[in-house]
Amino acid sequence: MNKQLSFLLFFLLLKLVCSAQDDIPVKVVPSEISKSVKKDPNDTLHWNWRRGGLVSLNVAQGSQSNWAAGGDKFSMALTSYVNYFLLNKGKKHTWDNSLDFNFGFIKTTSLGNRKNDDRFEVLSKYGVRLDTSNKIYLSGLFNFRTQFFDGYTYATGDSGTLSSTFLSPAYLLLSVGIDFKPKEYLSIFISPLTQRTTFIASNRLYTKGLYGVPPYHHYINQFGAFASISFAKNIFKNVSYRGKMDLFSDYRHNPGNIDLYFTNLFNFKINRFLAATYSLDMIYDDDVKLFGKYGTSPALQLKSMIGIGFSMPFSSVITH
């Protein structure tokens, strides 16, 4: 009898335990599914990236026939702009990368085919935090700028002289300095230690002594101070602005003649894929002496373009 009672009690206890275990997944699994997983602070392989950019294409065309007021029988202008950026900002570091490409083309019956814009630029800047406010970083900067196609200067309306081409000139800048980021859309970089290398890769141009590179040399190194201010923000509901101003002073050659490189782009959004754009670029390089009466003087270079056409901004966040 005692054995039968013991067996019955053991059987009931076993069933109770099994029943309790069957209930556990119903109560626990939902809470485990909704549980948030926190990042291990010692995990250095986890990156949060923000990427985005803008693609813009503007086309203008005109034609005339028996038009008494005069003008070209046919004209067409095309301007394009592509920007792509990839940014990362962690607790102790920041890494900014961007690529810009501009190209413009004009065709008229009187002037033929001409390029009116051509720029390719890559920028990468990595910084390590110096303060607790996440605003001041010790940063290294890499910047490379050139163009893709032949460029000409025109003394008269129909004759041009080759003045630039692919990698001629090209500018490579390496710099170490302090990067101040008071806002996510604003960066102020200042460096007393900067090397700028100017290349003239073309054999058609390297004999002429252009862009500060001595004749029969393909490059020149300059050492000096550098400052850069970058700004990118939606300044109004449908208006965005992106600008960058670079300043460089060569310690060994006319340090008071500061080189300027200043780009501005306004994007006025009309709808999802239609926008008006306005760009204004200013360059002053004391070594670019292609202007003046005899073509041997530096001058402030200005370029402005306005257009309406296709525009597509994009952005996303990558986590891995």
Q: What is the pLDDT of residues 239-271, one digit of tens each?
A: 999 999 999 999 999 999 999 999 999 999 999
Residues 6+ apart with CB under 8 A from 25: none
Domain ranges of the chain: 1-37, 54-319
Q: Assess whether pLDDT exceeds 50 at residue 49.
A: yes
Per-residue pLDDT at 134: 87
- Could you read off the pLDDT of 167-215 as tens digits, one per residue? 999 999 999 999 999 998 999 999 999 999 999 999 999 999 999 999 9
The rounded Cα 29 to chain-centroid distance in angstroms is: 46
Q: Assess whether pLDDT exceeds 60 at residue 14.
A: no
18 or 124: which leads in pLDDT: 124
Per-residue pLDDT at 290: 81
Q: Assess whether pLDDT exceeds 60 at residue 2.
A: no
76 or 4: which leads in pLDDT: 76
Looking at residue 133, its amino acid is S
Q: Assess whether pLDDT exceeds 60 at residue 10.
A: no
Residues 6+ apart with CB under 8 A from 39: 46
285 or 8: which leads in pLDDT: 285
CB atoms closer than 10 angstroms to residue 75: 17
Q: Tell me the C-alpha distance between 26 and 116, whole Å.
A: 69
Quote the percentage of the chain above a pLDDT of 70: 83
Per-residue pLDDT at 318: 61
Per-residue pLDDT at 17: 40
Mean pLDDT of the chain: 84
CB 39 within 8 A of CB 46: yes
Per-residue pLDDT at 90: 84
Per-residue pLDDT at 146: 97
Q: What DSSP character marks residue 30?
A: H
Quote the percentage of the chain above a pLDDT of 90: 59
Mean pLDDT of 61-90: 87
With 0-12 / 13-18 / 19 or more C-beta atoms within 10 angstroms meaning exposed / middle / buried, residue 315 is: exposed
What's the pLDDT band for 157 if we cut at 50, 70, 90?
A: low
Look up tokens 């005899």; give the residue: 294
Per-residue pLDDT at 222: 97
Burial string for 146-157 (b: 16+ CB within 10 Å, else e) reads bbeebbeeeeee
Per-residue pLDDT at 12: 47
Q: Tell me the C-alpha distance between 129 and 147, whole Å.
A: 34
Per-residue pLDDT at 154: 79
What's the pLDDT band for 319 if we cut at 50, 70, 90?
A: low
Q: Which of 26-35, 39-48, 180-189 has the highest mean pLDDT?
A: 180-189
- Could you read off the pLDDT of 57-69 as tens digits, one per residue? 998 888 888 787 7
What's the pTM value of the predicted model, to 2 decimals? Answer: 0.81
Least confidently predicted of 3-17, 109-123, 172-186, 188-202 = 3-17
The token pair at 234 is: 């939606």
